[in-house]
Structures are given as structure tokens and as C-alpha cells.
């Protein structure tokens, strides 16, 4: 990789290096704090709900950490922008240099987008436009830009009480257990994930849940590790586009 891009790529590489440890800590928290139980309801019902219960709230530190990773990914693109300014000797004040991600294609194209776009040589300007860095163009770049803003206003992480995997060990017959198809629903502080026929001996249940980024309009109920990996891969690809 060209020397002037190494700092931008290092910001993305730092995030890659942190994800395995983040995953281990999230999995350990889920295993310790999310359980499955059967709730006995009045006799007129034919089935009892199988519920997932969150014992404790997800620690705020996880949201802070993920916000830092999102900021590092977004910063890698701004560092790329500064590298291009220096590469071409562009007359732009440092405080005005940033990687443009716009609200719309019109904002990017018709209004000039950003000082970087106005000054870049044609070849690099076309490369940047090819990334479609605007809402409705490149969904990952827009999500990255948006999440880096809203992370300062509200928590990004949510525990999605939705099993990635659910297994039961016991003498169950067809129809004894009915998993919910579609969205799980809240019943008080518990989330119903299925129904089990009354009178059936409670089976041993094993399940896996996930912690998600849930920001409607950009990233909806997607596992946080998968989201960070996708956003980081998008930023890395943008950096490599200028490694010529």
C-alpha cells in the first residue's frame, strides 16, 4: 500500500484487531444474563409461553466501546481525505478537509459536495463519486456517517431477544412446541419466543442470542459484530481504491 495511505488503513486495522475480544466479552455477557424459561398461564390456555429473560441491562461500556470503533472507522476516511490533499498539494485548509458523505446525490453533485471534491483531479474525483457516498447511494457509507453522529446522542446497542439458535432436548412430539414465526413480542419485561403445549414435561433448552445495533433507517437489528465488520470493510475498500 502507498505510504500516504498507511495511517488511514491503520485506523481501520485497529478496529479489526479489537473485534474478536469484543465478541468474546459480548458472548460471555449473553450467556450469563439471558435465560429461557417457561411461564405457566391459566388452565384455559392450551400452551404455555416460552420466554427469554434479560437478568441485567447491557452495560453502557459496550455502547461506548462500539461508538469508539465506529468513530475510528469514520476517521479512517477523513484521514484518507487528508492524504489525498497532501498527495496532490491541494490548497485546502486542514479544518475544511473531510471525506464527504452527503444527505443526497444532489447535495454531493449539484452543490459541490465538499472542498475536497471541488479541488481533486478528475481521476480521483470520479473514484470518489463511484463510491456513491450519500443517502440512497452507498448504504454502508451513509450508515457509518449517520451512526457516528447519533452515537453521541443515544445508545446504539440493544439486546435482541431473538434466538440465533434454539434447541430442545426431551420427549417432544410434533406440535408440542411452536416457535414464533416472524417478530418475537414483548410480554412485560419478557420476550415470548415460542409456545409449548401444557402438560408436556419441560425440555432442556439451549439457545444463542445476539447484541445488535438497532438504528431504524440505517442498521436495523443487525448483530453488532457483523455491522462493525461490514462498515470497516467498506471503509477499507474506499481506501484501497486510491492505492494506485
Residues whose CB is less than 8 angstroms from the CB of residue 169 and which lie 6 or more positions away in sequence, other chains included: 203, 204, 205, 206
Residue 53 pairs with which residues in a beta bridge?
A: 35, 190
Rounded to 10°, the helix 6-33/60-88 angle is: 170
**Closest C-alpha among 158, 138, 147, 165 to residue 222:** 158
Cβ neighbors of 90 (< 8 A, separation 6 or more) are 84, 116, 119, 120
The low-confidence residues of the chain, meaning pLDDT below 70, are 111-113, 159-171, 180-189, 204-206
| 139 phi and psi angles, rounded to 5 deg | -60, -40
Enumerate the β-bridge partners of residue 197: 47
pTM to 2 decimal places: 0.85
**Predicted local distance difference test score (pLDDT) of residue 185:** 47
- Residue 162: per-residue pLDDT: 63
pLDDT at 12: 97
Q: Residue 30, class by beta-carbon neighbours within 10 Å (0-12 exposed, 13-18 middle, 19+ buried)?
A: middle
Q: What are the structural domain ranges in the chain?
A: 3-241
Amino acid at each position: 500500500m502507498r505510504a500516504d495511505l498507511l495511517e488511514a488503513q491503520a485506523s481501520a486495522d485497529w478496529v479489526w484487531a479489537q473485534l474478536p475480544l469484543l465478541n468474546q466479552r459480548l458472548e460471555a455477557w449473553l450467556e450469563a444474563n439471558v435465560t429461557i424459561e417457561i411461564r405457566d398461564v391459566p388452565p384455559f390456555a392450551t400452551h404455555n409461553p416460552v420466554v427469554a429473560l434479560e437478568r441485567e441491562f447491557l452495560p453502557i461500556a459496550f455502547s461506548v466501546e462500539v461508538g469508539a470503533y465506529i468513530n475510528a472507522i469514520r476517521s479512517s476516511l477523513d484521514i484518507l481525505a487528508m492524504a489525498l490533499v497532501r498527495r496532490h498539494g491541494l490548497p485546502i485548509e486542514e479544518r475544511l478537509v473531510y471525506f464527504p458523505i452527503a444527505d443526497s446525490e444532489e447535495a454531493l453533485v449539484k452543490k459541490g459536495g465538499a472542498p475536497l471534491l471541488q479541488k481533486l483531479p478528475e481521476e480521483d474525483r470520479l473514484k470518489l463519486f463511484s463510491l456513491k457516498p450519500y443517502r440512497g447511494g452507498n448504504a454502508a457509507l451513509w450508515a457509518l456517517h449517520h451512526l457516528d453522529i447519533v452515537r453521541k446522542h443515544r445508545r446504539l446497542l440493544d439486546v435482541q431477544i431473538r434466538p440465533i439458535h434454539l434447541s430442545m432436548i426431551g420427549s417432544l412430539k410434533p406440535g408440542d412446541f411452536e416457535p414464533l414465526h416472524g417478530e418475537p413480542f414483548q410480554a412485560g419485561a419478557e420476550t415470548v419466543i415460542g409456545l409449548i403445549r401444557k402438560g408436556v414435561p419441560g425440555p432442556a433448552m439451549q439457545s444463542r442470542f445476539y447484541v445488535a445495533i438497532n438504528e431504524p433507517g440505517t442498521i436495523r437489528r443487525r448483530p453488532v459484530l457483523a455491522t462493525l465488520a461490514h462498515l470497516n470493510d467498506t471503509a477499507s475498500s474506499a481506501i484501497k481504491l486510491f492505492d494506485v
